[in-house]
Amino acid sequence: MELTDNAAAGVENKDERYAFLTEWYDSTAALLRRYQLFFYPKDSSVEMFDVKNQRIFLRRTRYDGLQPDDLFVGNRVNVFTRQLCLVDYGDHYTANKLGSKKERTLALIKPDVLNKMGNVLDLIYSSNLIVTKALMTKLTWSQAADFYAEHQSKPLYNNLVQFISSGPVVAMELVGNLAVSVWLKLLGPADAATAQKEAPQSVRARFATDGAQIVGHGSDSLAAAAKELEFFFPSTVGSSPPNTAVCAADCTCCIIKPHAVTEGLTGKILNSISAAGFQISALRMFTVDRANAEEFYEVYKGVVKEYSDMVNELCSGPCLVLEIQGPDAPQTFRELCGPADPEISQYLRPNTLRALYGKDRVKNAVHCTDLPEDAVLEVQYFFRILDG
């Protein structure tokens, strides 16, 4: 089913088609199934071909849940409730058209600017970069020294290591066209004074406090990006730096839902949470499979009529899970989120998260723990079980 370059080029101006090799884990049969996924941008339609059985699995059908920006190798997309991992390009045309400039890079937000994390994310999204992985972690001195090993001979080495291990950091994988150079330009010059003079709109110009505490880090090449991403997001399961969740009695769970992540609302939501006085003590991006989504929402099954739609939304793409801390956090944070229906929130509680960022009862921007006794359990589900 792979298109030749000539055949692919022939449809470019008529009925352009992108092709990807995908994998889907069938939990019922405990099998990894492979499909060719075809996407037609002209009418946002999709088609699927079963690789093993050599037959059409899904005839061409319009599907508005998939966008061209979602199409890059390594991403997970949801097509009619099936979560597909895009493992390779299906033809040279697609690789040349969508993959030639697509890069991955590491963005590291350092301890001095965690309270401005939402602002930094807004700048990232406005630069047409996509956050595909995210983790808040606390590096040991040894881990920080390993990360900065190539700078060991430089005068600021000890200061760099000491500072980056002094508090939590947020590591992110950014994907986009020329992501390495785009993120470095967005960061600005390493010296804060130079950044303020030469690149006043850059991250460092806006948020840096001195020469050593320079807000963030960016990979300086594709090779460095591959190495640094492996440091924070290793391919070996269970070997990544630990998350920072404390799972204490004063914590609660917040999930920024996939639709809000896709719409670039993450930074604004984080800013609203911080402005309300809550501490974000842990953060990780998850791509939840259907079985886990059903398990997490099981308490709502048969109780809330939107249960099935809630499950579909949670496993439709990446979500950002937060551990929130604050006085009586389960109750007070639930008040900040507002009623489940954004229309009701806008009428009764117009400054709540769901009023500001929600669309309907399912795509209502955030999930929060409803019952105080479930708060620690929900945090543990993500940060101890799924991230175990």
Give catalytic residues, as residue numbers: 367
Q: pLDDT tens-digit profile of 309-328?
A: 999 999 988 999 999 999 99
- Output the domain CATH number for residue 58: 2.30.29.170
Give 174's strand partners: 105, 131
State the pLDDT confidence band at 25, using cuts at 50, 70 and 90: confident
Number of domains in the chain: 3
Average pLDDT over residues 152-177: 90
Least Cα distance to 114 among 166, 188, 79 occurs for: 166
pLDDT score recorded for residue 310: 96
State the pLDDT confidence band at 65, using cuts at 50, 70 and 90: confident
- The mean of the pLDDT values for the chain is 90
Mark out the alpha helices in 233-289 (DSSP H runs). Answer: 258-262, 266-275
Q: Is the pLDDT of residue 196 over 50?
A: yes
- Output the domain CATH number for residue 352: 3.30.70.141
Domain that holds residue 52: 5-99
Residues 113 and 208 in one domain: yes
Q: Is the pLDDT of residue 13 over 60?
A: no
Does the residue 240 lie in any domain?
A: no
Average pLDDT over residues 193-215: 80
pLDDT score recorded for residue 341: 97
298 vs 209, higher pLDDT:
298
Residues 56 and 181 in one domain: no
pLDDT score recorded for residue 6: 41
To the nearest 10°, the Cα dihedral for 64, 69, 70, 71? 110
CA atoms of 263 and 113, how far apart (whole Å): 24
State the pLDDT confidence band at 154, using cuts at 50, 70 and 90: confident
pLDDT score recorded for residue 301: 94
State the pLDDT confidence band at 213, using cuts at 50, 70 and 90: low
Does the residue 238 lie in any domain?
A: no
pLDDT score recorded for residue 100: 78
- Residue whose pair of structure tokens reads 């979602």 in the numeric block: 70
Asked whether the whole model's pTM tops 0.95, one would answer: no
Between the ranges 9-23, 69-83, 217-231, where is the mean pLDDT highest?
217-231
Residues 293 and 186 in one domain: no
pLDDT score recorded for residue 238: 66
Which helix (DSSP H) or strand (DSSP E) does residue 347 occupy?
Answer: helix 342-348
Q: Is the pLDDT of residue 117 over 80?
A: yes
Q: Is the pLDDT of residue 11 over 50?
A: no
pLDDT score recorded for residue 8: 47
HSE-CB for 15 with a 13 A CA cutoff: 7
Residues 371 and 299 in one domain: yes
Residues 195 and 110 in one domain: yes
Last residue of a domain, one of 66, 99, 132: 99
Residues 140 and 177 in one domain: yes
Q: Is the pLDDT of residue 295 over 70?
A: yes
Average pLDDT over residues 83-87: 89
Q: Is the pLDDT of residue 9 over 80?
A: no
Least Cα distance to 179 among 222, 216, 136 occurs for: 222
3-class secondary-structure state, position 296: helix
Strands (DSSP E) along the chain, which ranges?
Answer: 18-26, 31-40, 45-50, 55-62, 76-79, 82-89, 102-109, 130-137, 169-177, 216-218, 251-256, 279-286, 319-325, 366-368
Residues 110 and 224 in one domain: yes
Residues 308 and 345 in one domain: yes
Q: Is the pLDDT of residue 210 over 70?
A: no
State the pLDDT confidence band at 83, using cuts at 50, 70 and 90: confident
Least Cα distance to 297 among 374, 376, 384 occurs for: 374
Q: pLDDT tens-digit profile of 96-112?
A: 888 878 899 999 998 98
Q: pLDDT tens-digit profile of 346-362?
A: 999 999 999 999 999 99
pLDDT score recorded for residue 3: 46
CA atoms of 139 and 126, how far apart (whole Å): 29
Does the residue 241 lie in any domain?
A: no
Residues in contact with 259: Cβ distance below 8 Å, sequence separation at least 6, in sequence order: 313, 316, 317, 359, 363, 365
Residues 350 and 271 in one domain: yes
Does the residue 237 lie in any domain?
A: no
